[in-house]
Structure 1
Amino acid sequence: MQETPQRLLIVDDDEMFRHVLQRAMTRRDFEVLVAHDGSEALDLARRYQPEFATLDLKLEHESGLKLLPELLELVPDCRVVVLTGYSSIATAVEAIKLGAVNYLCKPVDADEVLTALSREDGNPEAEVADTPPSINRLTWEHIQKVLQEHDGNISATARALGMHRRTLQRKLQKRPVRR
């Protein structure tokens, strides 16, 4: 008797990343569904009730954080891992508060995703940095926190930070500083 493969929903607007992760997870015996935006993801979740999902934090026209509660409302037992190339402490905390089981910074490979999806408990052996974050990293974190507080509204965030909206947009387009 053949065991039914578990379903994984991949929600990401990066076509190449979606394709690579889909292929890798199919090789690991998952039935993989892919979506490039929130409405497609919710439709697939409603129809197929996936056990697992990866959710890009920054979709082209929407936030993965806004999509996360809607996804979990449709499939309450779905184990969701948020993936992002724009990591910050504020968004990691919010993702976990909203129901994600893990949060990973891109680039990631299929094994890291698989480990994150299956991990039940925290890791007390997690590495703690020897040095504090740089001023640039702290600035990035603060901007992300204020942006989150203003529900992703760039104009409101710029006003709260006392900076021009275009300056904030330029800062947000850059990759975050690692440390």
Structure 2
Amino acid sequence: MGAQVELGPDQDRSLLLVDDDTAFVERLARAMEKRGFQTRTAASVAQARAAVADSAPAFAVIDLRLEDGSGLDVVEDLRTARPDARIVVLTGYGAIATAVAAVKMGATDYLSKPADANDVTAALLASGEMLPPPAENPMSADRVRWEHIQRVFEQCDRNVSETARRLHMHRRTLQRILAKRGPR
């Protein structure tokens, strides 16, 4: 388990939160302020890039998929503007390829939603080469599968046949999965 670094009294505590889910980003901002961070929020790649150009933060939590593009563009801009920034990429759709891309672009860590303020703080403040401790309540494999299916279903404009084709599933099997509640 990785050690966690405490924020010193003179340390820059600026934190940029980038996510197009307004309710989520506002809750996370309040929680991170209680933990000693000075937060700013952005809901798009354009807003985030403007915030980085205005004043590059010491810390950032950036959603991978935003309405107007990829959060990886913001990671790249922030890494250029402030090489020492600690950046966590947060996404509701986790895949190994995107995790590798995020780290190659300069992200410090990669978390899948739902991640709470404790998970985010641990990832931002983890020191050394060791990984932060695992989340107390990680998503089950069934939940990850269900979330992936839901995301593809939304991307296909809720078209069951197209979703089934893209997921290489039988349409009826997909309909049964979609009719059930998501696992915990």
Measured against the shorter chain, the TM-score band is 0.5 to 0.7
Q: Does 1:105 align with 2:106?
A: no
Q: Return the offset for 1:48.
A: 2.1
Aligned partner of 2:162: which letter? T
- Cα deviation code 1:125-155 (max 9, x no counterpart): 879xxxxx89x96xx7xxx9xxxxxxxxx9x
Q: Return the offset for 1:72.
A: 1.3
Q: Which runs of 5+ in 2 are unaligned?
A: 1-8, 136-140, 156-160, 168-181
Contact preservation (8 Å) 1:12, 1:36: yes
Distance 1:102 1:88 in 2: 13
Contact preservation (8 Å) 2:13, 2:58: yes
- Cα deviation code 1:12-41 (max 9, x no counterpart): 110001100000001111110111111211
TM-score by length of 1: 0.67
Q: Which runs of 5+ in 1 are unaligned?
A: 128-132, 145-153, 155-165
Q: Hey, what does 1:83 align to over in structure 2?
A: 90
Identity, % of aligned pairs? 40
Cα-Cα RMSD? 3.4
Matches within 5 A, 1:26-175: 26-119=33-126, 120-123=128-131, 167=162
TM-score by length of 2: 0.66
Contact preservation (8 Å) 1:5, 1:29: no
Cα 1:33–1:111 change in 2 (3 A) is: same
Cα 1:167–1:105 change in 2 (3 A) is: same
Q: Return the offset for 1:68.
A: 1.6
Q: Which runs of 4+ in 1 moved over 6 A?
A: 124-127
Distance 1:125 1:16 in 2: 27
Distance 2:12 2:133 in 1: 32
What secondary structure is seen at the aligned counterpart in 1 of 2:77? helix
What secondary structure is seen at the aligned counterpart in 1 of 2:60? strand
